[in-house]
Amino acid sequence: MSSALRRVTRSGRRGVYNVVGCKEGGTSKDKCDAEEENPLPKHRSKGKRKVHVEYEQTADEDAEKKPKWEPISWDQHLENIRQMRSSRDAPVDQMGAEKCCDQSAAPQVMRYQVLLSLMLSSQTKDQVTSAAMCKLREHGLTVNKILETDDDTLGTLIYPVGFWKNKVKFIKQTTKILHEKYGGDIPDNVADLVKLPGVGPKMAHLVMDIAWKNVSGIGVDTHVHRISNRLKWVKKETKTPEETRVALEDWMPRELWSEINWLLVGFGQQMCLPVSPQCSECLNKAICPGAKRKGK
């Protein structure tokens, strides 16, 4: 037996080594040592099976098995809020965008009114938005009528909504685009809605839900943003409503997306106030991470 083969035999207890090419009497010690360092054969002989390593996983398989993050007690939070909101007597329930439009109007006109109502509602209380919408409807709230209305008259009709001067400009610009590009209707997708002057993601998702009956995302305003952070419904604290929307949609079941806006907006208007929230009366006081408890 050659020295190379004897060397492998002596080392056999440490594993099977590749000695292909180590011919008797014709292979140097250095080459055989190099072959020993690589235990896998260059050529698999017939009949040998490739060993499948069961613990190896693809990135997709690993992601599927990784538990999805969810807030602690979020389902109990939600049920308690539903109970507290069961009377539906918050301002948003009586004067929200869905209530401000003319339900008997032609579908195209109704959709336009929903869009304008949401544009007016930005940084404005529901009571003020509702009053402005009433005046606009009495004046005539259609694309053609608004195009015929001068800026001063439009400003008088919507005053005192927040940033009313800017909103006059946005309404006129948006209405012109709708007339020229969409035949007097509104876009039926978020991408085109947010291109309209004065329309942001929150408005776009609410328009899709209310006007088109198509849930494209969660409408997150200041109430939803504040309450989501107090309840720790976001994995880490978010700074803007848009960050909150993305964080909520990452874990919240899609069938809840439509409900969550009006539910939390009304809850924020009546109970979970921006300043001095009514924690002592809240059903979530024992399980809310942000609850203000006596003695703390």
213 counts as catalytic: no
Q: Which of 210, 201, 24 is nearest to 101 (CA)?
A: 210
Q: 96-128, pLDDT tens digit by residue?
A: 999 999 999 999 999 999 999 999 999 999 999
Q: In which band, very low, low, confident or very high, does the pLDDT at 292 lie, cut at 50, 70 and 90?
A: confident
- What's the predicted TM-score (pTM) here? 0.76
The mean pLDDT of the chain is 85
- pLDDT for res 62: 52
Q: 101-210 has which CATH code?
A: 1.10.340.30
Indicate the domain borders of the chain: 3-37, 74-89+219-281, 101-210
Q: Are 190 and 217 in contact (CB under 8 A)?
A: yes
Taking the CA atoms of 245, 247, 251 and 252 in sequence, report the sign of the dihedral they define: negative
Sole residue written with tokens 């978020």: 190
Dig out the tokens for 11 from the structure: 């080392």
- pLDDT for res 23: 45
Dig out the tokens for 294 from the structure: 């006596």
At position 286, the amino acid (one-letter code) is A
- CATH for the 74-89+219-281 domain, from 1.10.3720.10, 3.40.50.1360, 1.10.1670.10, 3.40.50.300: 1.10.1670.10
- pLDDT for res 64: 57
> Percent of the chain having pLDDT more than 70?
76
Catalytic-labelled residue, pool 66, 202, 239, 296 = 202
Q: 246-269, pLDDT tens digit by residue?
A: 999 999 999 999 999 999 999 999
Sole residue written with tokens 């007690």: 73
